């Protein structure tokens, strides 16, 4: 597949994370004079409010607005609403919130707008994820960060060098800037971090998951309800959690 041509539309899918912010920057550097580069975010209400500040800072840095596009079926863009409507929080091979609020939102944008190329925040250490996405989702993806040899750590450093504070959830110990209380997480370490830093979110997830019969956490080899999780339970380090929600969210992406 040859590269972008003059006038092509390049959609950069910005997830409020460091990597996709730098992917947008690199895309504008490489193709901004040649193509119509659009930076698009599929919002999810359950993300931390500081993500919005981060998005505004990134837009200022890039000198370009970030387009917000959500699925018309879920105008609230709320994962909590998706779970209630679907009567489920997580499936064996994914989560309904990812499907409706990310994947279908992106597909809805594609139905309304011609997109010649996609850019995602796959970093140099994620060539496998990029390859999988190209194979299963879209073949017209530009591996911007991979070609530039930029890792997640490089992206974070580049933003900080440009005076852009990362979303505050990273400093709180979260492995990504996705929703707080992500239903794909099964790790006791993760859920106890949520309980410590956002007790009201923990309680809300515990209530809803009990009501919908979703055993979200894995403890001692067994799936249990959040309200059964001991407060001192720990699992693997959150640094090993690599799955992020987004349009490239792996179908089987349950991280633990």
Closer of 43 and 143 to ligand SF4 (Cβ): 43
To which H or E segment does residue 67 belong? strand 67-68
Across-strand partners of 36?
9
Residue 43 beta carbon to ligand SF4: minimum distance, rounded to whole angstroms: 10
Q: Does 98 bind ligand SF4 (CB under 6 A)?
A: yes
CA distances from 237 to 37, 54, 222, 256 (A): 37, 26, 18, 9
Q: Total number of residues binding ligand SF4 (CB under 6 A)?
A: 13
- How far, in Å, CA of 156 to CA of 189, rounded? 23
Q: What tokens were used for 208?
A: 């809803």
Q: Does 48 bind ligand SF4 (CB under 6 A)?
A: no
| Choice from 12, 23, 39, 101 touching ligand SF4 (CB under 6 A) | 101
Q: Does 179 bind ligand SF4 (CB under 6 A)?
A: yes
Q: Is 2 left (phi over 0), alpha (psi -120 to 50) or beta?
A: beta
Q: Does 77 bind ligand SF4 (CB under 6 A)?
A: no
Which residue from 123, 167, 130, 177 is spatially nearest to 149, judged by alpha carbons?
Answer: 123
Q: Does 62 bind ligand SF4 (CB under 6 A)?
A: no
Closer of 35 and 182 to ligand SF4 (Cβ): 182
Q: Which stretch binds ligand SF4 (CB under 6 A): 105-113, 121-129, 181-189, 208-216?
A: 181-189
């Amino acid at each position: 597949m040859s590269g972008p041509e003059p006038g092509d539309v390049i959609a950069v899918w910005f997830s409020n994370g460091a990597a996709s912010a730098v992917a947008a920057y690199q895309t504008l550097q490489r193709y901004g004079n040649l193509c119509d580069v659009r930076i698009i975010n599929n919002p999810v209400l359950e993300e931390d409010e500081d993500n919005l500040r981060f998005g505004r800072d990134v837009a200022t840095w890039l000198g370009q607005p970030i387009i917000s596009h959500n699925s018309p079926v879920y105008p609230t863009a709320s994962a909590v609403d998706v779970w209630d409507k679907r009567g489920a929080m997580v499936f064996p091979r994914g989560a309904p919130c990812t499907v409706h609020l990310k994947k279908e939102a992106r597909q809805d944008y594609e139905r309304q707008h011609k997109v010649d190329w996609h850019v995602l925040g796959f970093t140099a250490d994620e060539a496998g994820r990029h390859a999988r996405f190209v194979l299963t989702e879209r073949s017209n993806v530009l591996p911007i960060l991979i070609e530039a040899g930029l890792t997640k750590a490089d992206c974070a450093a580049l933003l900080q060098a440009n005076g852009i504070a990362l979303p505050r959830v990273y400093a709180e110990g979260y492995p990504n800037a996705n929703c707080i209380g992500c239903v794909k997480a099964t790790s006791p370490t993760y859920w106890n971090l949520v309980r410590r830093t956002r007790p009201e979110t923990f309680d809300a997830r515990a209530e809803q998951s009990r009501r919908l019969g979703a055993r979200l956490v894995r403890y001692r080899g067994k799936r249990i309800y959040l309200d059964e999780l001991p407060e001192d339970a720990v699992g693997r380090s959150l640094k090993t959690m690599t799955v992020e929600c987004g349009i490239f969210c792996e179908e089987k992406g349950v991280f633990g």
